[in-house]
Amino acid sequence: ELICSTIPKTEEFKGFNFITPEISAIAESAINHHKENKYGGLIEEKRLHTNLLSSQPLCINFFGFLEQYKELGLAVAQYLYPEITEFHGVYFEYAPTPKNLYTNDNSAFDAALLVSAGDKKGIIGIECKYTEQFSQQEYSTDRYFEIYNNSNIFIESYKVLATKEFNQLFR
């Protein structure tokens, strides 16, 4: 069923939800990596191809350019963290594994920028929001509290971050 913010998922409209054919190819590559279970997160393929208001195509359209143009990716990463020396690419809907060593649930980064600072490798995790609301469920687990307590990056209290207003960004 089509509504005003969707496009048909037909061969005629293939790739229409992406701003260039190259970005469409990056989206297909991300789908294939998820089918091979390389990234851990979930991609809703129909939504990605047909929903004009979804954050998944928004994310791939924007961060796909960083995947396509690694020097641009390096410049963006260095703007955020000047100590970064290399940019390796982007994973979409990425959840580190094994999940029990991380949040121990199905949360994932919308985009994960793969970077190095000297001989240290890491990721910059990014959450994208376009129009959909945050989950109305509050997430508060012992593991989230442990991660919060072991980190020095949060300005706000755990009690505030675990509320429905912020939980999706916090997770």
DSSP letters for 6-58: B---SGGGTTTTSSSHHHHHHHHHHHHHHHTTSSBS---HHHHHHBTT-HHHH
Residue matched to tokens 């020097």: 71
**Which of the residue ranges 7-11, 51-55, 57-61, 164-168 would you say has the lowest mean pLDDT?**
164-168
pLDDT of residue 140: 78
Selected residue with higher pLDDT from 83 and 153: 83
**What is the percentage of the chain residues whose pLDDT exceeds 70?**
90
- Computed over every residue of the chain, the mean pLDDT equals 85
pLDDT of residue 134: 56
How far is the C-alpha of 98 from the C-alpha of 113, rounded, in Å? 19
How far is the C-alpha of 96 from the C-alpha of 31, rounded, in Å? 17
| Listed residue (64, 49, 53) closest to 14, CA to CA | 49
Selected residue with higher pLDDT from 44 and 122: 122
Selected residue with higher pLDDT from 28 and 103: 28
Over residues 99-136, the pLDDT tens digits come to: 777 777 777 889 999 999 999 999 999 988 765 555 66
| Listed residue (75, 87, 90) closest to 125, CA to CA | 90
pLDDT of residue 117: 97
The DSSP output letter for 100 is G
Selected residue with higher pLDDT from 50 and 39: 50
**Which of the residue ranges 6-15, 26-35, 162-171 would you say has the lowest mean pLDDT?**
162-171
The mean per-residue pLDDT over the stretch 47-54 comes to 85
Q: Is a pLDDT exceeding 70 seen at residue 72?
A: yes
The mean per-residue pLDDT over the stretch 64-86 comes to 96
How far is the C-alpha of 87 from the C-alpha of 124, rounded, in Å? 11
